[in-house]
Amino acid sequence: MTDTALASLSNGLVYAAMLTYAIAMVVFAASLAARAPGRRPLAEPALGTSRRQGGVGVAVRDAPVPARSPVVQPAPGRRGGNIAMSLTWLATLLVGAGLVARGLSVGRVPWGNMYEFSVASAFAISAAFLVLSLRRDLRWLGLLVVVPVLLTLGLAVTVLYTEAGQLVPALNSYWLIIHVAAAIICAGTFCVGTALTVAYLVADTSERRVSRGSRFWGSGLARRLPPAQRLDAMAYRIHTFAFPLWTFAVVAGAIWAENAWGRYWGWDPKETWAFITWVGYAAYLHARATAGWKGRKAAVIALVAFAAFIINYFGVNIFLTGLHSYGGLPS
């Protein structure tokens, strides 16, 4: 039933992808660092003088921060960013090919255990990032995306690795295709949403500190980010896509559960944490419309909700026992 040649080809492709991502990560990091402080003297002297003259930060803060303007970018970081983006495309194609090979080797969808789910999620994170990058320049986000992708793949090939094989009967259902595929796309979009949220918090902190005269926060990574307000809007938009999809994933799981176990909701640990994740992201969306909770506080809620998603993804399978414990992990 299992084609071993295809299965080992799949493993080789995943390793090749990891190597490519690792190089992309280094190049992304280097291109962020390439823009050393002091290379953009436009804003800083003004800031410095305003502080030295005892000027309060308010006036500066309200002024546009020219260091962030995406229009005037110097060349060195740019070329590195382009190389890293190309490497990310290549690595994503390699992971995608690895998934296809795995699927062909076992004659089913390639997300039947934790290993396959993780590889598919890494593909989804990367693909979500690349799809977004088609419409706007996202080279500054690359590092924040490639790092979780590499971590996911690293966990997959070490802790979670499972040989290519057939499904346990519990997973033998077309709902595996629907429910788990939705969960995988959610993993991708939530992760990119989290990267954007982290970028927003960094940019926001940087803007506040720079307005108070900090030189450190006006340098390095923080300076290459778009304005905080734009990052906030981008993070919000991707979450408004991911949240309904997560709702769908949970509902599809409930329909499957009704068909497999006779109840659509039973507070199994996986269901409980899916619920906590859902409530967390619902709180994020509500916080954005609540006075006193907009901005940073809402962003922190999104991060907490993502933590619940990660607990649901790894923690429940590894540390808690329940009906969803068919991840293929040795107990």
Subset of 156-175 contacting another protein (CB under 8 A): 162-163, 165-170, 172-173, 175
**Are 230 and 250 spatial neighbours (Cβ–Cβ below 8 Å)?**
no
Q: 146: helix, coil or strand?
A: helix
Closer of 39 and 286 to another protein (Cβ): 286
Question: Residue 160 burial by CB count (10 A; 0-12/13-18/19+): exposed, middle or buried?
Answer: buried
Q: Does the protein bind another protein through residue 136 (CB under 8 A)?
A: no
Q: Does the protein bind another protein through residue 104 (CB under 8 A)?
A: no
Q: Does the protein bind another protein through residue 61 (CB under 8 A)?
A: no
CA distance 107 to 285: 40
With CB under 8 A, what is the number of residues at the site for another protein? 58
CA distance 274 to 305: 10
Interface region with another protein, contact rule CB under 8 A, candidates 24-32, 68-76, 183-191, 246-254: 246-254
First to last CA, the chain: 25
Closer of 134 and 291 to another protein (Cβ): 291
Which of 325, 310, 187 shows the shortest CA–CA distance to 269?
325
Integer CA distances (angstroms), 24 to 13, 127, 144, 206, 275, in order: 16, 15, 12, 25, 35
Q: Does the protein bind another protein through residue 8 (CB under 8 A)?
A: no
Closer of 23 and 320 to another protein (Cβ): 320
Closer of 57 and 322 to another protein (Cβ): 322
Q: Does the protein bind another protein through residue 288 (CB under 8 A)?
A: yes
CA distance 252 to 271: 12
* Binding footprint of another protein on the chain (CB under 8 A): 162-163, 165-170, 172-173, 175, 233, 236-237, 240-241, 243-244, 247-248, 251, 254-256, 258-269, 272-273, 275-276, 279-280, 282-283, 286-293, 308, 316, 320, 322, 328, 331
